[in-house]
Amino acid sequence: MQKFSLTINSFNRDAKESAYNANILSNVFLVSLVKIDHSIFKSHAYSTVINTDKDKEILEHTECRFGKWYSGEGRERFGDYSEYKEIDISHKAVHDYAKDNLKYVKNNSVYEQENSKYIVENFKEMEDASTKLALLLNEMVEQQFLVSKDI
C-alpha cells in the first residue's frame, strides 16, 4: 500500500510540474507572438510611408490583436503585475508614432525635406517604445514565472 501511495504522490507532483511548465511555455509563446505581430505592424508603418500609400490606416492600440488581448485575456492573466500597467503606455506610443507619420502620407509631404527629420524621429521613438514594450513583456512573464514558482 505504501508503494501505491508513493506512486500516486509522484504522479501528482509530476502532473503539477507539467501544468506549471505548460503555463510558462504558453506565456512565452504569447509574448513571442506579440513581438512578431508588432514587427509586422512596424514593417507596415515603414512601407506605408516609403510607398506613400494613402489607403493605409494605422489602428489604434486598442484595436490591434495585441490591444484586444491586453484588455481581455491579458488582464485576466497579468492584470495584477506592475509591468502590465506600464505596457499600455509603450504599446500606445508605438501606434501613436506610426500614426504621426501617416499624416505626412495623407497630405503628400513625405518627401519634403523639412519633414524628413520629423518622420525619422517618429520612427526612432516608435522603435524605442517597441523595445520598451518587448522588455516589459519579458519582465511580466518572468515575474509571473517567479510568483507561480513560489505557489
Q: pLDDT digit string (tens) for 11-46?
A: 677 777 777 777 778 888 888 888 899 899 999 999
Q: Which residue, among 96, 102, 87, has the nearest Cα to 132 in the 3D structure?
A: 87
pLDDT, residue 127, reads 97
* Residue 151 pLDDT level (bands cut at 50, 70, 90): low
Contact assessment for residue 64 and residue 92, using Cβ atoms and an 8 Å cutoff: no
Cell of 32: 513571442
- Give how many domains the chain has, as a whole number: 1
pLDDT digits (tens, 9 = 90+) for 65-74: 899 989 998 8
Q: Is the pLDDT of residue 108 over 70?
A: yes
CATH number of the domain where residue 67 is located: 1.20.120.30
Q: Is the pLDDT of residue 143 over 70?
A: yes
pLDDT, residue 7, reads 74
3-state secondary structure of 118: helix
Q: Which residue, among 135, 117, 124, 137, has the nearest Cα to 97 in the 3D structure?
A: 124
pTM to 2 decimals?
Answer: 0.83
| Separation between Cα atoms, residue 38 and residue 30, nearest integer Å | 12
The whole domain housing 128 covers 2-150
Residue type, 28: V
